[in-house]
Structures are given as structure tokens and as C-alpha cells.
């Protein structure tokens, strides 16, 4: 990065920091862990008789559970039950502890498993472990500490077991339930257990996540249901050769499916990807904060899933530090149903529900406690990701936008090098998606199809309906490459401010940022409207005073000033949610630009420097209007909005000084009085 670009980045970040920065909360804090070496493979499901059995001893209850099963499945369960009564275990953890070689399988018979021996609070040395605490208060334990005290945080701990298969034998996932009862961070934790295979059961009710897979090369999550957790349903972290298949998750305060820090196998590549580290297919994630999320969700292929009735459908980001593989890159979303993600669970934070103990919040009745800030009513969020592809998805029925893209400066993830600050939101492709239309063909429009902060290189979109900005770089139909493109190192200023204000959210402190419509701000309460109104008021007062003192005798300038006043009113109105995606914004800038240009021309004969500055300001405003309405100006590091804003500050001060100096009514003051460049020494 050249010195000039570094300076521009510095200016942009300095401006952002003066407005406030997002909090340092972390969505998921874990011990330092390295990616697997990639030598593993996705494990295959093993048929045949299980090595170990787990069941409860209430025979009458068991027989009631299996009585509705198909004949062959019922007979198999009855046969396994007789064997289990003689040689099996009563708790899943006991069976896991009995695994003594790779390649074993555990069959869990229908029943509810609360793992009572794992529930008590730690005692002795386990109560005195020394480890730093996360922002949420839990200890970040080393692998050795997890082995020493497996139930400090986990109801069931699968540590260092290779090629282990754990399967429920019921007709569906709800026939076998592992229930943490909100007593543990994790219901089931698989840590360093390459080749683990989970199938056909439910895990639920934790203070973090139901099923956690960490540092694993090779895993499958097959027909598993997770629900009612403070944070995640499924969390897989720093893992490779993973497969989620036919899973379901709901009622989670962060996301149903979280493949965070998936193995970063495609770093440094373009769109020519030889393989993905994690595949997600046939899953449904609904009624969560997010259906899918992944900080450093790298090289994830999500296809043929359904993400619906969340606050936002899917998100990938480079926001939170401590995640290997940042910045996020190379996710591919294909043929997914992403629809009706319009839930707004912030009300449960506002009314104090989420301040109660987890067991008293009412998760089972539909309460969700949002752990991070997202814009409700959004289909897909890319917050600082690169080389992502979204193709052939059905994205519809959203009250905000289908696709949201914004950049994230590297200092938020703990990297201070200037060369890294503008390294996100590049080379993303949004093409051939079915926007505003269900798979059945029914029209289900999104309020807007795209919201983009304007930052990044080589992003492109298909033809869309309403978008913000209205003019987007297009993708070539034959290759998918960007047609035109952009090279912005700082986003559009009003959107940068909005993101900074809206990010100041904290569920523990019950802090919902004022001024952000994500949390219910409307009309004049919204930060965008407040800023637009403030700028309009300053320009109206200063411009009106300048016209009255110097230019009211000029008919052309007077007419242009009337247009400018109308433009200022329209500019404020364009920041309302109803008019934001329309032509109101570009039209407002057009009227203001005409006013400023005419004013500058009227001043030039008597105050050349100030008049020229005013003309330049007007032309920048016109250029900003053109860019917003028609096409983004390619390969410019700063958009005209930033240049217009910086020059506008100078112009306002100069206009006040010029207007205040003595001069004839309705005419320009003497050149030496108004134009410092022409004052004699």
C-alpha cells in the first residue's frame, strides 16, 4: 500500500474512531488451536452391530417409546435393549469412557439422558483450575485441563477418541435426547477426536452450545437436532473434512449452525477452489438470531439448505479476534432457501427477559436472547469477507435486504498493520440468485435486494431490484467476473456511521444502541436522519445567509437556491426507511449540486478562490448523485461523498466568513475582502 493510500485509510479510520468503535466482545473464545494438517477424510457411516450400548432401565417407558416404530425398527430396539440391560451403560459418558480403540460405535437407545454423574459442580482440584476467563465469564481451558476435568464445562466429553460413531437408534432425532438442563456450557464436546460421526439424536439446553466439535480432521453430523442454547446449536471450530447433513437447529441466541474458523485451505487462491473444508447440506436452521454464521468461516460449501424465520438468514464475518483463518474467505452458497428472516428478538433484551437465568427465560416457549448485533430482516450478511460466491439461491421475503455487504477494518480483529486495514470485502460474487421469488414461483419481494457500504475491490452483482446504492458493479454472465468494479478503501460515510452506532450492543448490559433502526429507532430517532437533518440545517442557514448577503440580486442564483432548499428537504426525507432505496437520494444531491455550482459561478467574478471552491463542491455533489443513480466510478480509493464532506467543512467556514464581511446588499464584497488569495500583503 502506497503512502497516499495509507494516509487515506488513516483518515477514514480516524473519522470512524471519533464516532465510536464497536465493542471488544467476542462471539466465541477458545484456547489457541491450530488447523489440522488436512491428511484426514470425511468418515463413512458404519452399518452393523454396535460395540457399546446405552439405555435406561425403565422397561415400561422404553416399550412405550418404541411402540410406534415400524416393525423392523421396533424389533431391533427391543433386541438391543435386552442386550443393553445385561452389558450396557446407563449414561453416554460411561460408554465414551469405555472406548479403548479406534473404529468403535456406540448405540444410544431411545430415552432422555441427563447424565446425572456429570452434573455436579467441580470440586477439589477441578474447582481450582487456573485459566483466563472469557468476556462471558467461563474459563478458557487447555486441552490438558479438559482431560483433567471433562465435566467442568461439558455434559459429555469425547476427548481424543478416533473414528468413534455415536448413533441414536430411534425413528428420529427426538427419540434420543441429551439434555444439559442449562447446567453446562456444552451438551457434547468432541475435542481432538478425528473421524467422529454423530447420528440421529437431539442435544439441547446449554449455556453455550449443544454439539461442539473442536480441532478435528474428519467429522459428520447426520440427522442431529440441536435447540434452546444461549449461543449455538452446532459449533465446529478449527476443523477440516467436515460434513453436516440433514440437521436441524432452532432457538439459539447466536446461530443454529456455526462452522467458525473452518480450515483455511484456500487462502491465497482465487475462485479456482479444489475442495472445501466443510460441507453443509440438507439442513434447516430457523428461529435463531442467525440461521448460519461463521467468524472465519473459510472454505465452507453450503448447498440445498433452508435458513428461515431467523433475525438474519446467514452471516460470515471477520469481526471477532482470536479466530484462526481471518479474514474470512471462500464460502460458497448454492441452491439454498433463504427466506422470511424477519424475527426481532431484541424485545427480550429490552424487557429484561434475557437478564434472568437461562432456565427461566422461556427458550422452550420461543424466547431467543440475541448475543450479537445483526440487522433484522436480512437474508445474507457478509461483514468483511473475501472470495465468497452466492449462486442459485432463493432469497425472498425479507423486510430489510436480501444481501448485505460491508468491510471490516483489521484493527477490530487485533491487527494493527496499515497494509491490512482495507483487506476485506473483495472479490465477492452474487449471481444467478432468485431474488424476491420463492421456488414455487410465487412473488415474495425483498424490501431491497442489496445493501452495500461501497468498500472493496472486484465485487459484483446480478441485475437487482431496489438496492443501496442503486448503481452496483455487475457480474459478467459468461464468467461471473466483475464488470466495472470498484476499489474503495473506506465505505460510504453515512453507512460507516450507521454500522458504528449499531454495533454498540451488549446483551449482558442490556445496551441497545439509540439511533439504530436495527433496535427499533424510527423517524428522527435514527442516526442517519439526525445527521442528514444536521447537515441540511447547517447548509440552509449558511447558504441562505450567503445568498441574502451577497447573491439575492442574481436571478439565476436565486432560482438555484430555491432548488437547493428543496434538495435539502429531500435529502433528509431520503434517509427515511420508506425512501432510502428510491431515487430520492440522488435527486436531492442533484438539486443541491446545481445550487452550489450556480452559487459558485455567481461568486467567481468578485471572489475567485471562494467561487471556484463552491463550484468544485457543487460538481462533487453532482458526481455523487451520478454515482448513486447510475454507475460507481471505478478504481477510486475514496468516493465523492467523502471528498464532498471534507471540502464541505472548509466551505462552510469560508462561507460564514465571506457572508459576515461588510459588502453591498445583494452583491459580492470587494475581492480583497472576501478572497484571501487576492489580499495585498
Q: How do residues 324-369 score in pLDDT, each as one tens digit?
A: 999 999 999 999 999 999 999 999 999 999 999 999 999 999 999 9
Tens of pLDDT along 509-568?
999 999 999 999 998 999 999 999 999 999 999 999 999 988 988 999 999 999 999 999
**Helix, strand, coil percentages in the chain from 3-state DSSP, rounded to 5:** 30, 25, 45
Element (H, E) at 594: helix 584-603
Mean pLDDT of the chain: 91
Per-residue confidence (pLDDT) for residue 14, from 0 to 100: 37
d(CA 90, CA 114) in angstroms, rounded, equals 10
* Range of weakest confidence among 76-85, 263-272, 463-472: 463-472
* Range of weakest confidence among 118-132, 148-162, 414-428, 625-639: 625-639
Per-residue confidence (pLDDT) for residue 635, from 0 to 100: 74
Q: Is pLDDT larger for residue 94 or for residue 482?
A: 94
Mean pLDDT of 613-635: 89
User: DSSP states of 413-436 as a string?
Assistant: GT---GGGTT-SSBS-EEES-EET
User: DSSP states of 211-274 as a string?
Assistant: EEEES-EEEEEEEEEEEEESSEEEEEES-EEEEEES-EEEEESSEEEEEET---TTTT--S--S
Tens of pLDDT along 178-224?
999 999 999 999 999 999 999 999 999 999 999 999 999 999 999 99
d(CA 92, CA 77) in angstroms, rounded, equals 17
Judge whether residue 279 has pLDDT over 60: yes
Mean pLDDT of 256-264: 97
In this structure, how many other beta carbons lie within 10 angstroms of the beta carbon of residue 244?
27
Where does residue 160 rank: exposed (0-12), middle (13-18), buried (19+ CB within 10 A)?
Answer: middle
Give this prediction's pTM. Answer: 0.92
Q: Reduced to 3 states, what is the DSSP secondary structure of residue 637?
A: coil
Mean pLDDT of 612-640: 89
Nearest CA among 311, 312, 246 for reference residue 280: 246
Nearest CA among 224, 395, 430 for reference residue 308: 395
Per-residue confidence (pLDDT) for residue 478, from 0 to 100: 66
Split at pLDDT 50, 70, 90, the class of 638 is confident
Per-residue confidence (pLDDT) for residue 10, from 0 to 100: 41
Q: How many CA atoms lie within 13 A of 379 on its CB side?
A: 29
Per-residue confidence (pLDDT) for residue 347, from 0 to 100: 97
Per-residue confidence (pLDDT) for residue 58, from 0 to 100: 96
Split at pLDDT 50, 70, 90, the class of 117 is very high
Tens of pLDDT along 22-51?
333 456 889 999 999 999 999 999 999 999
Per-residue confidence (pLDDT) for residue 26, from 0 to 100: 54
Q: Is pLDDT larger for residue 153 or for residue 20?
A: 153
Amino acid at each position: 500500500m502506497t503512502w497516499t493510500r495509507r494516509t487515506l485509510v488513516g483518515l477514514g479510520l480516524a473519522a470512524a474512531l471519533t464516532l465510536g468503535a464497536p465493542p471488544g466482545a467476542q462471539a466465541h473464545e477458545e484456547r489457541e488451536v491450530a488447523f489440522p494438517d488436512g491428511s484426514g477424510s470425511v468418515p463413512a457411516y458404519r452399518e452393523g452391530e454396535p460395540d457399546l450400548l446405552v439405555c435406561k432401565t425403565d422397561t415400561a417407558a422404553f416399550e412405550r417409546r418404541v411402540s410406534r416404530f415400524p416393525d423392523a425398527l421396533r424389533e431391533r430396539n427391543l433386541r438391543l435393549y435386552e442386550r443393553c440391560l445385561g452389558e450396557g451403560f446407563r449414561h453416554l459418558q460411561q460408554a465414551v469412557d469405555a472406548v479403548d480403540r479406534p473404529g468403535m460405535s456406540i448405540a444410544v437407545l431411545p430415552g432422555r439422558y441427563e447424565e446425572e454423574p456429570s452434573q455436579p459442580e467441580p470440586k477439589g482440584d477441578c474447582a481450582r483450575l487456573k485459566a483466563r476467563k472469557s468476556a462471558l465469564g467461563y474459563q478458557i481451558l487447555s486441552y490438558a485441563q479438559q482431560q483433567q476435568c471433562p465435566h467442568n464445562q461439558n455434559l459429555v466429553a469425547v476427548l481424543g477418541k478416533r473414528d468413534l460413531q455415536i448413533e441414536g437408534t430411534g425413528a428420529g432425532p427426538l427419540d434420543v435426547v441429551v439434555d444439559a438442563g442449562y447446567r453446562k456450557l456444552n451438551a457434547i464436546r468432541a475435542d481432538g477426536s478425528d473421524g467422529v460421526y454423530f447420528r440421529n439424536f437431539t442435544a439441547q439446553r446449554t449455556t453455550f452450545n449443544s454439539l461442539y466439535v473442536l480441532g478435528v480432521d474428519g467429522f459428520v453430523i447426520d440427522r442431529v437436532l440441536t435447540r434452546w442454547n444461549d449461543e449455538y446449536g452446532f459449533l465446529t471450530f478449527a476443523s477440516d473434512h467436515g460434513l453436516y447433513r440433514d440437521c436441524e437447529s432452532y432457538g439459539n441466541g447466536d446461530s443454529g449452525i456455526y462452522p467458525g474458523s473452518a480450515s483455511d485451505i484456500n487462502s491465497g487462491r482465487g475462485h479456482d477452489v479444489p475442495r472445501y473444508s466443510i460441507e453443509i447440506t440438507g439442513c434447516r436452521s430457523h428461529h435463531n438470531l442467525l440461521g448460519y454464521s461463521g467468524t472465519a468461516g473459510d472454505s465452507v460449501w453450503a448447498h440445498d439448505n433452508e435458513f428461515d424465520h431467523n433475525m438474519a438468514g446467514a452471516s460470515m464475518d471477520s469481526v471477532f479476534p482470536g479466530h484462526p483463518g481471518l479474514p474470512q474467505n471462500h464460502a460458497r452458497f448454492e441452491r439454498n432457501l433463504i427466506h422470511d428472516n424477519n424475527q426481532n428478538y431484541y424485545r427480550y433484551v429490552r424487557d429484561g427477559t434475557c437478564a434472568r437465568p437461562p432456565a427461566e427465560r422461556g427458550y422452550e416457549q420461543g424466547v431467543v436472547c440475541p448475543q450479537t448485533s445483526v440487522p433484522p430482516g436480512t437474508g445474507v450478511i457478509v461483514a468483511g469477507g473475501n472470495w465468497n460466491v452466492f449462486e442459485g439461491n432463493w432469497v425472498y421475503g425479507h423486510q430489510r435486504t436480501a444481501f448485505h455487504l460491508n468491510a471490516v477494518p483489521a484493527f477490530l480483529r487485533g491487527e494493527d498493520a496499515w497494509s491490512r486495514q482495507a483487506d476485506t470485502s473483495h472479490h465477492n460474487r452474487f449471481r444467478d440468485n432468485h431474488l424476491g421469488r420463492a421456488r414455487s414461483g410465487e412473488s415474495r419481494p425483498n424490501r431491497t435486494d442489496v445493501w452495500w457500504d461501497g468498500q472493496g475491490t472486484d465485487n459484483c452483482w446480478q441485475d437487482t431490484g431496489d438496492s443501496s446504492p442503486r448503481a452496483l458493479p455487475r457480474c459478467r454472465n459468461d464468467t461471473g467476473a466483475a464488470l466495472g468494479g470498484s476499489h474503495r478503501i473506506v465505505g460510504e460515510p453515512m453507512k460507516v456511521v450507521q454500522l458504528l452506532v449499531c454495533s454498540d450492543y451488549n446483551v449482558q448490559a442490556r445496551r441497545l444502541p439509540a439511533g439504530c433502526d436495527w433496535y427499533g429507532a424510527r423517524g428522527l430517532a435514527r442516526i442517519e436522519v439526525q445527521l442528514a437533518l444536521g447537515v441540511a440545517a447547517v447548509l440552509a442557514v449558511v447558504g441562505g445567509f450567503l445568498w441574502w448577503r451577497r447573491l439575492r440580486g442574481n436571478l439565476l442564483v436565486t432560482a438555484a437556491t430555491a432548488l437547493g432548499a428543496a434538495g435539502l428537504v429531500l435529502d433528509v426525507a431520503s434517509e427515511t426507511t420508506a425512501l432510502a432505496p428510491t431515487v430520492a437520494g440522488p435527486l436531492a444531491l442533484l438539486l443541491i449540486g446545481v445550487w452550489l455550482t450556480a452559487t459558485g459561478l455567481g461568486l467567481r467574478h468578485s471572489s475567485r478562490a471562494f467561487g471556484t471552491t463552491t463550484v468544485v463542491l457543487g460538481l462533487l455533489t453532482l458526481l455523487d448523485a451520478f454515482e448513486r443513480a447510475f454507475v460507481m466510478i471505478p478504481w477510486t480509493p475514496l468516493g465523492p461523498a467523502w471528498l464532498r464532506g471534507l471540502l464541505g467543512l472548509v466551505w462552510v467556514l469560508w462561507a460564514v466568513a465571506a457572508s459576515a464581511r461588510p459588502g453591498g446588499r445583494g452583491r459580492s464584497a470587494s475581492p480583497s475582502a472576501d478572497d484571501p488569495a487576492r489580499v495585498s500583503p
